[in-house]
């Protein structure tokens, strides 16, 4: 048990904050965890499941005397939350966030930041399709990356402390510049989500034609898309609206590649398809070798799907 911060305040009590609370307790990283959420319902659930040591009605109360404040709300809500808490932050405190996009968060937060408070962005590359305070669990961050994005001139000790904190939550940490972060995440997370949303939408249109066949015969590839496409609509709306440039850049490239594959299929160019799939197969092997996924049969699912 190594206490890294005396008091931490979690603003928003959903999947990410809930998991942070569990993992903080598991490792004894804070003396006190205070949490708050927008709705009375979420605050009551958090109390019922004893998620934090204290649940406050307002964010302003939660951040009082906190050494670390983490914004765990949708990106579109961060500016208003920051305005709310700014006058109540303890001098010397660190404010961080868990948003999936970084430039937009910096633009929302930095203008409100008091002079004696440091902002250091954070982004745990871990999640599920579930939301709300009951969905959190202590193992969510284990062996998953957390990207740390310090603001310009942020104190090196404060950055190290936050890195140690995420290490204590189970994560592997890497530092990144904000625009690079947003481009990387557009490639590995945001655009794949958009494609999954689209594919499931297309299948839904098709389902109206083919009754329930899309559901009954759904194979592993499609089922994986449906899991991703069940992700929280508010969170993902905000991700695309706030990472517009990088997502559009990657979508443009995606469309070009898709057209090339479409042409290869039309022209019967098997070599093109084979070469392409050989290249992508190597990427999958690299991901497994890096410990980022399992090569267990059926992606480690407990039981094989009915066919
Ligand atoms: P979540 O489970 O939906 O929880 C969101 C929390 O934010 C709830 O407590 C909600 O309060 C509160 N909230 C929502 N809108 C708000 C508003 N306008 N003003 C104030 N509070 C508001 O979300 P989550 O999955 O934990 O995501 C939180 C953040 O983590 C997002 O910025 C997201 O980009 C980032 N993130 C998510 C994942 C993921 O896979 N889920 C992964 C990495 C990073 P009520 O319950 O009272 O409505």
Protein residue closest via CA to atom 42 of ligand 1: 127
* Cα atoms in the 13 Å half-sphere on the side-chain side of 296: 10
Ligand 1 site residues (CB inside 6 A) read 12-17, 37-39, 42, 72-75, 77, 81, 98-100, 124, 127, 131-132, 232, 235
Q: pLDDT at position 306, please?
A: 37
Percent of the chain with pLDDT over 90: 80
Percent of the chain with pLDDT over 70: 92
- Tell me the pLDDT tens digit for each residue of 128-138: 989 999 999 99
Give the CATH fold of the 180-268 domain: 6-phosphogluconate dehydrogenase C-terminal fold (1.10.3660)
Mean pLDDT of 30-47: 98
Query: What atom in ligand 1 is closest to the CA of residue 41?
Result: 47
User: Residues 123, 2: contact at Cβ < 8 Å?
Assistant: no
Q: CA angle, corner 11, sides to 170 and 91, nearest 5? A: 95
Q: pLDDT at position 251, please?
A: 94
Give the global pTM. Answer: 0.91
User: Residues 42, 61: contact at Cβ < 8 Å?
Assistant: no
- Tell me the pLDDT tens digit for each residue of 144-178: 999 999 999 999 999 999 999 999 999 999 999 99
In CATH terms, the superfamily for domain 5-176 is: NAD(P)-binding Rossmann-like Domain (3.40.50.720)
CATH 3.40.50.720 residue window(s) in the chain:
5-176
Answer whether residue 213 shows pLDDT above 90: no
Q: How far is the CA of 274 from the centre of ligand 1 (A)?
A: 42
Query: What atom in ligand 1 is closest to the CA of residue 80?
Result: 19
Which of 38, 77, 141, 242 to probe ligand 1 with, by most ligand atoms within 8 A of CB?
A: 38
């Amino acid at each position: 048990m190594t206490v890294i911060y005396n008091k931490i305040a979690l603003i928003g009590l959903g999947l990410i904050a809930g998991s942070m609370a569990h993992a903080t307790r598991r490792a004894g990283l804070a003396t006190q965890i205070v949490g708050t959420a927008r709705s009375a319902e979420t605050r009551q659930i958090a109390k019922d499941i004893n998620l934090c040591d204290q649940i406050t009605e307002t964010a302003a109360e939660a951040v009082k005397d906190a050494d670390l404040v983490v914004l765990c709300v949708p990106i579109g809500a961060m500016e208003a939350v920051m305005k709310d808490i700014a006058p109540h932050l303890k001098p010397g405190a660190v404010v961080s966030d868990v948003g999936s996009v970084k430039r937009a968060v910096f633009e929302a937060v930095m203008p409100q930041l008091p002079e004696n408070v440091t902002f250091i962005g954070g982004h745990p590359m871990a999640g599920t399709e579930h939301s709300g305070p009951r969905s959190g669990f202590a193992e969510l961050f284990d062996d998953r990356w957390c990207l740390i994005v310090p603001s310009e001139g942020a104190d090196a000790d404060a950055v190290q402390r936050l890195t140690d904190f995420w290490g204590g939550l189970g994560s592997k940490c890497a530092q990144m510049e904000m625009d690079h972060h947003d481009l990387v995440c557009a490639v590995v997370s945001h655009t794949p989500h958009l494609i999954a949303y689209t594919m499931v939408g297309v299948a839904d249109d098709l389902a109206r034609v083919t009754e329930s066949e899309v559901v009954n015969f759904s194979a592993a590839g499609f089922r994986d898309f449906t899991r991703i496409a069940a992700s929280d609509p508010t969170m993902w709306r905000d991700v695309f609206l706030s990472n517009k440039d990088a997502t559009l850049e990657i979508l443009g490239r995606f469309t070009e590649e898709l057209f090339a594959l479409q042409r290869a299929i039309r022209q019967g160019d098997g070599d093109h398809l084979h070469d392409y799939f050989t290249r992508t197969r190597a990427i999958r092997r690299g991901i497994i070798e890096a410990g980022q996924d399992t090569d267990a049969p059926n992606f480690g699912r407990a039981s094989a799907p009915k066919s």
